[in-house]
């Protein structure tokens, strides 16, 4: 079945839906079955550009969470016993299906999370990339042999699937941020229960259920329970069944998720907020730094944990940088994400808009100047450049998660480093200089999990470790690093020769 078929929703069973947005998605996915809403409440999925309802999906209950974990636990052992090449083949087939559904995904990203076509392409490619890398993990030898201090003993370290993996994902890059856990977890022999954000239940969860179902994944290995975080989130993250709890979202919520997981002896994997700095040293290539700064601040309306949150620019380049960045911001086309050429779409909802606009207004009250932007039309917030900013102003000290570029001057590399590190976060960042060794010195001094020299922080490669420090989370995603989280090392020793004991 392809996303271009025209059979109406009324004429087909819910289990036969393709992924086109007009086809409903009015179900959750449990034990290989598409379960309609029944007497459950509904979640209205709203198009942030038009403010119209795209569809409704059932709002999962605590009972649904219990059932999902139970069926996942029942399915996991048999799934882990499948040959690794079989598990890898199913993940690879799901990856291929995402490519076939690329046009429908582009529409879904637009109407569900306000993603423009450029962002849709990035996200689909990232999701496919993480599936490709994840599939490869199934065939990777995770065991090791270690010599023993005891004569005649052999030590083996054997990797086993962690078991059931709980996954909670956000609305900003919903398909990718779900895929980067779901795909490797399944390939490694785990089962999964996924709770996508209530704003993006389709691209964050139900799409993955559909493609894995089509790829032949056995019933119960992947279960998707959409629901409101304030209703089922605590129950989901504190449940006693999962062995791993993966959460991507705000630091405030993530702290609670981690505490509940640990309280249930569940290993947390947390990728949280950021206050990422784009540092432009006095010997930087100015145009290159401005290009990177515009991309890093305004892509997907700044709604990314690794977006540039602060621009730190040497005082000798400051005025030129501000003027150049403002010029780039003014030229960005704003509008409906479905329209060809649109580069800036809407922010996700009124709450996010009000927070972003509030940070701008409060910073202006404290002395910042709006060089361009600063206004909004419903959920469309103008790309905004602020000059005269200090690190303690609201737009710089908070993760604003919007198309806002506060520009802060500094006098020396040492001052820049001090400003960069004057935050509770430590996710990503970037440094620009024509002297790579100098940039490396600054990068080494930045208290953050990732730094990109002569680039910007919006970088994620599925085969490279991804994660932060401090309030930006714990653990690492991608490739062998997520493999460490999704598997358990068991020590098995074999005493090959009789051992002499002291009694």
Out of 46, 106, 198, 271, the active site residue is 271
pLDDT at site 18: 66
Is 271 catalytic? The answer is: yes
DSSP state of 202: I
* DSSP collapsed to 3 states, 32-61: CEEECCCCCCEEEEECCCCCCEEEEEECCC
pLDDT at site 321: 98
Residues facing 168 on adjacent strands:
195, 247
Burial of 85 (0-12, 13-18, 19+ CB in 10 A): exposed
| pLDDT reading at 92 higher than 90 | yes
Contact 387, 322 (CB under 8 A): yes
In this structure, are strands 153-161 and 380-381 parallel, antiparallel, or unpaired?
Answer: unpaired
The structural architecture, per CATH, of the domain 276-453 is: 3-Layer(aba) Sandwich (3.40)
Burial of 289 (0-12, 13-18, 19+ CB in 10 A): buried
Q: Which residues contact 230 (CB under 8 A, 6 or more apart)?
A: none
pLDDT at site 24: 67
Contact 285, 432 (CB under 8 A): yes
- Both tokens of residue 321? 């940088």
State mean pLDDT over 290-310.
98
Out of 112, 305, 371, 382, the active site residue is 305
Q: Which residues contact 469 (CB under 8 A, 6 or more apart)?
A: 426, 447, 448, 449
pLDDT at site 22: 62
Q: Where are the domains of the chain?
A: 9-271+466-489, 276-453
| pLDDT reading at 319 higher than 60 | yes
Count of CA atoms in the C-beta half-sphere (13 A) of 438: 14
Distance from C-alpha of 272 to C-alpha of 330, rounded to nearest angstrom: 30
Residue with tokens 């000290």: 397
Q: What Å distances lie between residue 395 and 5, 49, 184, 296, CA to CA? A: 47, 24, 37, 16
> How many other CB atoms are there within 10 angstroms of residue 90's CB atom?
22
* Residues above pLDDT 70, as percent of the chain: 95
In this structure, are strands 53-58 and 28-30 parallel, antiparallel, or unpaired?
Answer: unpaired
Contact 368, 387 (CB under 8 A): yes
pLDDT band at 292 (very low <50, low <70, confident <90, very high): very high
pLDDT at site 339: 95
Is 214 catalytic? The answer is: no
Distance from C-alpha of 286 to C-alpha of 161, rounded to nearest angstrom: 49
| Secondary structure (DSSP) of 400-424 | --SSEEEEEEESSHHHHHHHHHSSS
| pLDDT reading at 314 higher than 80 | yes
Q: What is the pLDDT of residues 491-501, one digit of tens each?
A: 999 999 999 99
Distance from C-alpha of 45 to C-alpha of 56, rounded to nearest angstrom: 6
- From the options 3.40.980.10, 3.40.50.1100, 3.30.930.10, 3.40.605.10, give the CATH code of 9-271+466-489: 3.40.605.10
Dihedral (CA of 76, 82, 84, 86) sign: negative
Q: What is the pLDDT of residues 154-201, one digit of tens each?
A: 999 999 999 999 999 999 999 999 999 999 999 999 999 999 999 999
State mean pLDDT over 221-250.
98
Helices (H) and strands (E) in the chain, counts: 15, 22
State mean pLDDT over 459-477.
97
Q: What are phi and psi of 283, to 5 degrees?
A: -100, 20
| pLDDT reading at 2 higher than 80 | no
Choose among 426, 431, 458, 459: nearest CA to 443: 431
Q: What is the pLDDT of residues 32-77, one digit of tens each?
A: 999 988 899 999 999 999 999 999 999 999 999 999 999 999 999 9
DSSP SS3 for 390: coil
Distance from C-alpha of 258 to C-alpha of 254, rounded to nearest angstrom: 6
Choose among 143, 198, 130, 188: nearest CA to 164: 188
| pLDDT reading at 112 higher than 60 | yes
State mean pLDDT over 332-341.
96
* Radius of gyration from C-alpha coordinates of the chain: 24
- Both tokens of residue 417? 């480093």
In this structure, are strands 244-248 and 222-224 parallel, antiparallel, or unpaired?
Answer: unpaired
Q: What is the pLDDT of residues 345-401, one digit of tens each?
A: 999 999 999 999 999 999 999 999 999 999 999 999 999 999 999 999 999 999 999
Residue with tokens 């890398």: 133
pLDDT at site 143: 78
pTM for the whole thing?
A: 0.94
In this structure, are strands 429-432 and 452-453 parallel, antiparallel, or unpaired?
Answer: parallel
pLDDT band at 14 (very low <50, low <70, confident <90, very high): very low
Q: What are phi and psi of 55, to 5 degrees?
A: -170, 175
> How many other CB atoms are there within 10 angstroms of residue 500's CB atom?
8
pLDDT band at 11 (very low <50, low <70, confident <90, very high): very low
Q: Which residues contact 424 (CB under 8 A, 6 or more apart)?
A: 251, 275, 470, 471
Distance from C-alpha of 444 to C-alpha of 231, rounded to nearest angstrom: 42
| pLDDT reading at 21 higher than 70 | no
- Both tokens of residue 324? 């150049």
| pLDDT reading at 17 higher than 80 | no
Q: Which residues contact 352 (CB under 8 A, 6 or more apart)?
A: 303, 401, 402
- Both tokens of residue 240? 């006693």
């Amino acid at each position: 079945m392809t996303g271009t078929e025209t059979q109406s929703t009324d004429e087909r069973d819910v289990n036969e839906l393709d992924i086109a947005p007009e086809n409903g998605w009015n179900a959750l996915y449990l034990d290989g079955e598409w379960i309609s809403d029944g007497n459950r409440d509904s979640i209205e999925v709203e198009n942030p550009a038009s403010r119209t309802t795209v569809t409704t999906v059932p709002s999962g209950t605590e009972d649904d969470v219990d059932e999902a974990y139970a069926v996942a636990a029942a399915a996991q052992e048999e799934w882990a016993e499948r040959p690794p090449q079989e598990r890898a083949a199913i993940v690879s087939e799901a990856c291929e299906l995402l490519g076939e559904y690329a046009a429908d995904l582009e529409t879904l990203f637009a109407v569900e999370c306000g993603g423009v076509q450029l962002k849709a392409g990035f996200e689909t490619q990232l999701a496919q990339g993480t599936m490709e890398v994840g599939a490869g993990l199934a065939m990777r030898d995770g065991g090791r042999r270690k010599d023993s201090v005891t004569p005649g003993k052999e030590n083996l370290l054997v990797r086993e699937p962690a078991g059931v993996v709980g996954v909670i994902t956000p609305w900003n890059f919903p398909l990718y941020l779900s895929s980067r856990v779901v795909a490797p977890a399944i390939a490694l022999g785990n089962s999964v229960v996924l709770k996508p954000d209530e704003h993006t239940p389709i691209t964050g969860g139900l799409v993955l259920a559909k493609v894995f179902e089509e790829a032949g994944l056995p019933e119960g290995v992947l279960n998707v329970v959409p629901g409101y975080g304030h209703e089922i989130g605590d129950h989901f993250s504190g449940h006693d069944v999962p062995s791993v709890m993966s959460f991507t979202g705000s630091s405030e919520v993530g702290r609670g998720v981690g505490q509940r997981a640990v309280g249930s002896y569940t290993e947390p994997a947390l990728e949280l907020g950021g206050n990422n700095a784009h540092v432009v040293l006095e010997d930087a290539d100015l145009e290159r730094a401005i290009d990177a700064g515009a991309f890093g601040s305004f892509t997907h309306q700044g709604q990314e944990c690794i977006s540039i949150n602060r621009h730190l620019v040497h005082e000798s380049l400051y005025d030129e940088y501000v003027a150049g960045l403002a010029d780039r911001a003014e030229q960005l086309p704003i509008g409906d994400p479905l329209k060809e050429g649109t580069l800036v779409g809407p922010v996700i909802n009124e709450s996010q808009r009000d927070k972003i606009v509030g940070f701008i207004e409060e910073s202006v009250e404290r002395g910042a100047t709006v060089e361009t932007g600063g206004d909004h039309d419903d959920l469309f917030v103008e790309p905004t450049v602020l000059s005269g900013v200090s690190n303690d102003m609201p737009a710089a000290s908070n993760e604003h998660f919007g198309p806002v570029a506060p520009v802060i001057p500094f006098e020396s590399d040492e001052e820049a480093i001090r400003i960069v590190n004057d935050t509770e976060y430590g996710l990503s960042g970037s440094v620009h200089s024509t002297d790579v060794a100098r940039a490396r010195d600054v990068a080494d001094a930045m208290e953050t999990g990732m730094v990109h020299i002569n680039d910007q922080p919006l970088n994620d490669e599925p085969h490279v470790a991804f994660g932060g420090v401090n309030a930006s989370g714990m653990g690492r995603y991608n490739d062998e690093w997520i493999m460490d989280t999704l598997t358990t090392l068991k020590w098995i020793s074999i005493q090959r020769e009789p051992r002499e004991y002291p009694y």
